[in-house]
Amino acid sequence: MAEKTYDWASIAKNPKFIELHHKKTAFLFGWWIFSTIYYFLLPIGAAYAPGLFKIQILGRINFGYIFALSQFFVSWGLAMYYAHVANKDFDRLTRELVNELQ
């Protein structure tokens, strides 16, 4: 158990950590709120704007169907985008910070 002990308080004050923390918080909560709002538009819209959901857009495929289907693609898109940003930015900042500490 040769455990390296860290001075957590000083890491927390490290500018790299503060940068990582700010970027991550803004990204994660911002996009989480976006996806949640986008999702709740579905049950709310289906209940309170049925007229909109009935509009036929492609042949007999209506807006409601496309909107529900879009939820899947928006979720996947957001997941891919997050993976991209995390791999590029967050992981890089974390690596730099960890290297600096060792």
Partner 1 sequence: MKRLLVALGCVLSLSIAAYAAPEAAKAPEATPAVAAQAPAAAAAPAVDAAKVAAPAAESKATLKANPKVTIPIFLIIIAATMSVVVWSAKQTKSAADFYTAGGGITGTQNGWAIAGDYMSAASFLGISGMISLYGYDGFMYSVGWLVAYITVLLIVAEPCRNAGKYTLGDILSFRTSPKPVRAVAAISTVSVSTFYLTAQMVGAGKLMQLLLGINYTIAIVGVGILMVGYVVFGGMTATTWVQIIKAGLLMTGAFILSVMVAIKSGFSPFQFFTDIATNQNIIDHVKLLPIYLKEVDAGTATADAGQRFLEPGLFLTNPLDQISLGMALVLGTAGMPHILMRFFTVPTAQEARKSVIVAMFIIGSFYILTTLLGFGAAVHLSPQGIKQVDAGGNMAAMMLAKTMGSEFSPFIGDLLLAFLCAVAFATILAVVSGLVLAASAAIAHDIYVNVIKDGHADQHEQVMAARITSFCVGAVGILIGIAAEKQNVAHLVALAFAVASSGNLPVVVMSLFWKKFNTAGVVAGLVVGTIASIGLVMVSPNMTYPDRVADNAKAAYTKLEAEIAAGLVAPAAMEKTLKTIEAKKAEEAKNRGGKSMLGLSKPLFNLKNPGIVSIPLGFIAAILATLAFPCRRAEEMWDEIYVRQNTGLGMAKAIDH
Query: How many Å apart are CA 66 and CA 60, to the nearest integer?
Result: 11
Size of the site for partner 1 (CB under 8 A): 54
Residue 4 DSSP one-character state: P
- Among the listed residues 26, 37, 91, 100, the single contact to partner 1 using CB under 8 A: 91
Q: Does 81 bind partner 1 (CB under 8 A)?
A: no
What's the half-sphere exposure (Cβ side, CA atoms, 13 Å) at 44? 6
Residues in contact with partner 1 by CB under 8 A are 1, 3, 6, 8-9, 11-12, 17, 20-21, 24, 28-29, 31-32, 35-36, 39-40, 42-44, 46-48, 50, 53-54, 56, 58-62, 64-65, 68-69, 71-72, 75-76, 78-80, 82-83, 86-87, 91, 94, 97-98, 101
